[in-house]
Every structure is written in structure tokens, then in C-alpha cells.
Structure 1
Amino acid sequence: MHTLTSDISSQKLWGKSFIFIMLANALLFMAFEMLLPTLPLFVSSLGGDASQIGLVTGIFMFSAILVRPFTSVLAARMNKKFLLIIGIAICALATGAYYLSSGIGIILVLRVIHGFGFGLATTYFATIATENMPKSRRGEGMGYFGVGETVAISIGPLIGTSLLLQYNYQSLFLGGMCILLLALLMSIFVSRKPQQDFDSESQIAHIASVKLIEKKVLFPSLLILLVGIAAGSIMSFVALFAAERGFNNIAWFFFIVAIASFVVRLFSGTMFDRLGPGSVLLPSAVFAIAGLLVLILAQNQVHFLVAGALYGFGFGAIFPAIQTWCVNLVEEHEHENAMASFFNFFDLGIGGGSLILGMVASAFSYTVVYTVSIAVLVIYILLYSVYSLKQRQYEDRSLGVHIE
């Protein structure tokens, strides 16, 4: 065990390219999160109604999901770093152009373009990041890689609303564009290993085709879909739930979620590398469930913040663990397909889950919303437990045949 630990620790993770790709990815998500609470206000200021605001939000995710299946085909023909820079540039230009919008139709066009850029950038950020970390330390590396996202998700809305309150929409959109241009500049300094030569016709055929779903990562993608549903309940409804209960520290809630996610990733990735997915995926789901349960039962501000900490410990470990698992299940030339499936299932979970849970909230209450979210995570635990049991039985049978 000591030898294994030494071997893993001796392989370099914190190179220049890894640091730049991690920071640039965080800036991408920060600019994205700045618009979440503010763009609906801009649409409303142009005369948009609730249905149009929902369309502006939904069409972005749809275009991001639509472009991701093509990322592997593009990577087979063009340099991934160049494609990443194109994706970030599209996001930057679209963000700055929102201020020039004179009507809802123009905003919808810009949201489609922005979604295409976001879909490209998120996929290539993840795949280039895996190239810049040792395979034996991917769990640890992806955990650190995602820390920036978590922090950005926490402070992005605060930065966006602060810019809008202190200045105006022009400052908001131009500020977001400048953040993305900084991300683009950092990406220029990222180096990646040369394109691998594909030594078989089957590999060439694989990368030449568009895959809506990478079958090798279907099961972990299903798990991240369920996680996305639960995450959607927090992103979409916890502010309304807090207001209903009289809790006025929603910003602190998200800050604590971010801090807890950061802390857990300091060791969860190493656990994944040394002990396998189950060592992270099951305990983290229990923490997330505990957080949602405390949230339902919360009677004061302290309970509310404790719920955020427990949920942060859970989600902070689950997301990079499943992401790393998806990468490990495929060959290097399939990384784009794996990440496309991963992000698309997660986005579908958040988008579809928020839609369904919104109807649940309208028909019942936010308490029922979080009860449903707990049930979804229980299903997640059951599915992974059954999968893990079948995997062990398969390995035992294979070992028995080998011994005979």
C-alpha cells in the first residue's frame, strides 16, 4: 500500500497547463452564473413575460446539449485547444452583445449562439484537463479542477447582482465579457500533448460519427441525471424555500455549499483513485440526503446553514467522481463523447428536474419538492448498489474461470 501511495503521489499534477485550465474553466462558469439572476430582469425590462423568460433560459441549455454530440467529430479534425478558444470566444461575444438587444427575438438568437459556445467550452475544458493530469490521479485532479466551478457558482450570482445594482446592464454584460476574455487569454497558455495516432479503422470510424450517447458511460450518466434533479431543487427553489421559512441568509447558504465542496475535494479524489468509485459515490449521496433532510426540518438559520454544509459535502464529491468515472471507462479518443454524455445528462437533470419539481411545488409545497429530491437520491443509491453487486459477481465468476 505504501508503494502504491508513493507511486501515485510522485506523478506530477500541478503543472502550468493544469492550473491555467482550472482557472479559465472557473472564469467561464463565473460569467455564466453572473447572468442567472440578472438576465431574467433584463428580459423583463424589455417587456418579456414569464413564459419568455423561461424560453430564454431553456433555449440556452438546449443549444448546449445539441452541440456536444459533435465535439468528438470536431476534435478528430481540428485541434482541441483551438476549438476550446473558439467556444470561449463565442461565449464572450454573445455575453457582450446582450446589451445591444432591442427585443426578445434578438436575445433568443444570442442565447442559442451562447449555448453553442458554452457546450463546446465545457466539453473541451474537461477533456483537455484530463490530458494534463496523470491517469492514476484523475480522481484527485478532477476534484481540484471542479473546485473553481464550485466557487464560481457561489460568487457569480453575487458579482452579477452587485454590478447591476451599483451600475447598469451595460456594466454587467461588458464585465462578463471581460471575464471571459481573461479565460480566453489563460487558455492560450495551455499546452496539450500531441494528437494520438489512431491505429485502427474502428477508432477512425468511431471518431468520425456523431454520438448522441456514449454507451460505455450510460450508467454513470444516468446517475448524474439523478444528481442533477436533486441539484436543480437547490438551484431553483432554495431561495424561495428560505423566504417562505423566514431565513434571510441565502448568500451564506451558497457560500457554505461552496466551502464544503472545496474541503471534501481535498481528499475525495484521492479516495476515488485508491479505492474506486464506490468509496466516494455512496457516502457522498448519504451526505447529500442528510443535507436535504436537515433542510426540510430546519427551524432556524443555523439549521439552514448546516443543511448547506452537508449538501455541499455530498454534491462536491459526487460530481467530480462521476465525471472521472466516465473518463476512465473510455479510451482517450472517446473522451469528448464521454464528457458530452456526462454534461448533457446533468443538464437534462437540472432542466427537466426543475420543470417537474416546479409543478410539484405549485401543487404541493417546497417540503414535498425536497422530499422528492431525497427519493431520487435513494434511487441513485439503490441503482449503484445493484450495479456494484453485479460487478462483483461478474468479477468473481471471471476469477473462478481463470483459476480453473
Structure 2
Amino acid sequence: MRGALAQRLRAVFVADQEPPLWTRAFLLVCGTQLLAYSSYAAIHPTFAVYLETITHSESLIGVAFGAFTFAAVVARPVAGWLLDRVGRRGVQAIAAVALAGTTLSFTWATVIWVAIGLRVLHGIAWGVSSTATPTIAADVVPSARQSEGFAYFGIVPNIALMVLPPAGLWIAHRYGFVMQFAGAALLALLVLGPLAALEETTPAARSDGEFYAPEALPAATLVALGSIPVGAIDALLPLYAPTVGLDNAGLFFTVMGGAILLTRAVRGRLPGTIPALLVVSFVCQAVGLALLALAPRLLVVSRLPLGLLAGAAVFGVGFALVFPLLQSVAVAATPESQNGSATATILIGMDLGVGFGAIGFGILGDLVSFTSMYTAAAVVSLTGVLATIMISLEDSLH
């Protein structure tokens, strides 16, 4: 009797024997991610304003932003190779110092071409840093709780991207760009704190080094499909929002960011297999984009931008799980010694998806209405549903 009671109490208070997620190592890598993303987010939204002080050419400003993205994409496979072959902490430490140095050096860039050159170096440093921290997370998150762990880990950049842009903008207006760049550089250097307290996580059996992980390509393909509509939103939503009753497009991104954060926070309680959750995610993306396309008609009915804000929330729910779920798939599909290459591969998929989405839908936006453009983006998300089913049938998502 007493033994049965003890077993029942143990079942209540020790609900399952899952390995712990919120370990010291996981908290330290979350701190590293928060500081690195804070450094990036503190200057990214105002960098175009800074460039306008040294050039009046919008095309050159566009080149500076494109150079950053291209440099980060090129750096990722090299970063994955270095992380698997050399080690995690050393590569991240060098990237943090480089991130701080290039950020601070913008204060001396008085010629646009110098600024573009520094932006390339900044993109390389960011590409390495933003590949290193998810790789370390992949090392410390228990394999049985990877999709849940990556969802929680994915909240960290959202916090930085919701808090730091307005803070950076306030510092730039109040104290000038020099103080803004100095503050962002300091945040990058502070990465070394939690990194020093973190033990090396590189497996003892190190990989010979690969620039990409072939086993992660199915996951990277789905990440790209999930990211293409993000390019359409990032590039064109600020132009579309005022035409459908939302003068402050920032409210759209706040709602979407809040939906992403809340969805990732409850990931551990969501039932269903990874393929099923991915199908639901892509369907939510498509519904959110359809609401964006219907926003003009809904505005006539309600006289409020309800379609736009509802679309932001539903799309955010859909996009929230795509990357964490597929990172867990990519990491599970590759040897532990190649976590760096696996992480780099799916990050490249995301970068390419956002980039091609911005370019492709930007061109389409010149030819058709916003309604037609976001309808086309919804079709892309539905393509993600079909791709998930096809890849799932090949057993690449289990």
C-alpha cells in the first residue's frame, strides 16, 4: 500500500523522466544569443539613416544593406566548417570581437565606399556569430527535447528585436550615432562573459569539416519556403500598410513579433508530430497572407486595419515554429560532430528564402497590386504544405 502510494506521488511530482532543458549551459548560451542579437538590433534599423549623413544615393544605401546580407550568407558555410573542425567557443569569441570592432569602426566611416567595405566585414562577423550560438544550443539541448528547446531558444532573438531597435533609435536621436555604435559594440564584447563561463561543447570526435550538411538539405528547403513570404513582408509591408489604414507599420511587426514569441513559448505543450505541426504552420502562414490580401475589403467593412493586424498575428503563429522544428530535424539527421554544418545549412536556407522573397515579390509588386502579390505569397506557403508532405513520405522529417 505504502509502495503504491509512493509510486503515485512520484508520478505526480516527477511527471516524466525527460532530461532537463533549463541547464546552466542552456541559460549561458541563451545569454550569449541575447547579447549578440542586441548588438545587431541596436543599429540595424537606423543604419540607413546614418548612411544618409554620408551619401544621398539610395542605391548605394541599398548596396550597403545587400553587401551585409550577402557577406553573412557566404560566411555561414565557412563558419559551420570552422565550428565543427576548430571548436565552438574560440570561433564565437573571435566573431564577437570582430562584431564589436566593425560596429565601432562605423564611427570613422565618412565615405560611403568605406562604409560598404566595413559593412561587408560586419556581415561576415554576424554570419559567423549567428551560426555559432545556435550550434552551441544544438550541443547542449537534450536530443529528446530539441524541437521544444529550439523554440525557447528562438524566443531570445525576438526579445532583442522587440526591445533594442527603439532603444537604439532613442540613443541615436539623444546622443548621436557615435554613442549608438559604441553601445552596440559594448554589447558584442559582453558576449565574451557568458561564453567564458560556458564549457566547450564541441564533441570529442570532431568532424573533418564540411561546408554544408547534405542530410539537412530537406529541412533547409522547407525553411527557405517558409522564409520567402517573410521577404515580401519585410520589403513591402511598410509601403502597403498606409494604403489599408495603418499609418504606423511598426504596429504590424509588433503584433507579428508578439505572436511568434507566444507561440514559441507554448511549443512544449503543443501536441502532434513534426510533419503535422509543419503543415499547420504553413497553413497558418497562408491564412495570414490571405488576410493581408483581403485587408482593403475588410477595411471597407470595419474602417479599422483589422485584416492587416489579424494577418500579422496568424502569420506570426505560422512562422514561429518553422525554423525551430526544422533545426531539430536538421540536427537529428546529422552526426553530432557536424552540428555546425547542419545549423549553417538551414540558416542559409532562411537567408536565401528571405532574400529571394524580397527581390521576387519586389519585382512582382511593380507589376501587380499588393492584393495579388500577397495572394501569390499565400500560394508559396501552400507549396510548403505539399513539400512537407512529399518530404515526410520519404521519411526525412522523422
Using structure 2 for the length normalisation, give the TM-score: 0.88
Question: Contact 1:155/1:255 (CA < 8 Å) preserved in 2?
Answer: no
Deviations 1:150-195 (A, max 9, x none): 2222333322322223332112211211222223322222224463
1-structure distance, mates of 2:373, 2:268: 30
2-structure distance, mates of 1:316, 1:163: 30
The structural deviation recorded for 1:87 is 1.0
Question: Contact 1:58/1:351 (CA < 8 Å) preserved in 2?
Answer: no
The structural deviation recorded for 1:293 is 1.5
1:315 equivalenced with 2:319 (yes/no): yes
The structural deviation recorded for 1:343 is 0.8
1:355 equivalenced with 2:356 (yes/no): no
Question: Contact 2:155/2:264 (CA < 8 Å) preserved in 1?
Answer: yes
Question: Contact 1:131/1:193 (CA < 8 Å) preserved in 2?
Answer: yes
Query: Relative to structure 1, is the Cα distance of residues 7 and 61 closer, same or farther in structure 2, using a 3 angstrom cutoff?
Result: farther
The structural deviation recorded for 1:65 is 1.6
Residue-pair matches, total: 381
Question: Contact 2:84/2:341 (CA < 8 Å) preserved in 1?
Answer: no
2-structure distance, mates of 1:9, 1:288: 35
- In the alignment, which of 136, 146, 152 is matched to residue 144 of structure 1? 152
Query: Relative to structure 1, is the Cα distance of residues 279 and 361 closer, same or farther in structure 2, using a 3 angstrom cutoff?
Result: same
2-structure distance, mates of 1:14, 1:380: 32
Correspondences of 1:323-362 after superposition (within 5 Å): 323-362=327-366
Question: Contact 2:84/2:338 (CA < 8 Å) preserved in 1?
Answer: no
- In the alignment, which of 121, 126, 129 is matched to residue 118 of structure 1? 126
1:233 equivalenced with 2:238 (yes/no): no
Question: Contact 1:87/1:117 (CA < 8 Å) preserved in 2?
Answer: yes
The structural deviation recorded for 1:376 is 1.0
* 42-51 vs 159-168, which moves further: 159-168
- In the alignment, which of 47, 70, 81 is matched to residue 89 of structure 2? 81
Correspondences of 1:182-201 after superposition (within 5 Å): 182-193=190-201, 195-197=203-205
Which residue is 1:91 aligned to?
99
Which residue is 2:173 aligned to?
165
- In the alignment, which of 97, 117, 129 is matched to residue 109 of structure 1? 117
2-structure distance, mates of 1:35, 1:316: 24
**Where does the alignment leave 5 or more consecutive residues of structure 1 unmatched?**
199-206, 396-404
The structural deviation recorded for 1:390 is 4.0
* 294-303 vs 370-379, which moves further: 294-303
Query: Relative to structure 1, is the Cα distance of residues 242 and 82 closer, same or farther in structure 2, using a 3 angstrom cutoff?
Result: same
The structural deviation recorded for 1:221 is 0.7
Query: Relative to structure 1, is the Cα distance of residues 194 and 232 closer, same or farther in structure 2, using a 3 angstrom cutoff?
Result: closer
**Where does the alignment leave 5 or more consecutive residues of structure 2 unmatched?**
1-9
Which residue is 1:385 aligned to?
389
The residue type equivalent to 1:208 in the other structure is D
The structural deviation recorded for 1:71 is 2.6
Query: Relative to structure 1, is the Cα distance of residues 334 and 56 closer, same or farther in structure 2, using a 3 angstrom cutoff?
Result: same
SS of the residue corresponding to residue 204 of structure 2 reads coil
Deviations 1:278-300 (A, max 9, x none): 13211111112121111222222
2-structure distance, mates of 1:265, 1:259: 10
The residue type equivalent to 1:37 in the other structure is P
Deviations 1:4-41 (A, max 9, x none): xx786531111122112113212322332333321112
Query: Relative to structure 1, is the Cα distance of residues 98 and 238 closer, same or farther in structure 2, using a 3 angstrom cutoff?
Result: same
The structural deviation recorded for 1:144 is 0.4
Using structure 1 for the length normalisation, give the TM-score: 0.87
Deviations 1:350-396 (A, max 9, x none): 1121112111122223223312211111111111112223439xx9x
Question: Contact 2:242/2:248 (CA < 8 Å) preserved in 1?
Answer: no
Which residue is 1:366 aligned to?
370
The structural deviation recorded for 1:77 is 4.3
Question: Contact 1:139/1:270 (CA < 8 Å) preserved in 2?
Answer: no
- In the alignment, which of 286, 289, 305 is matched to residue 289 of structure 1? 286
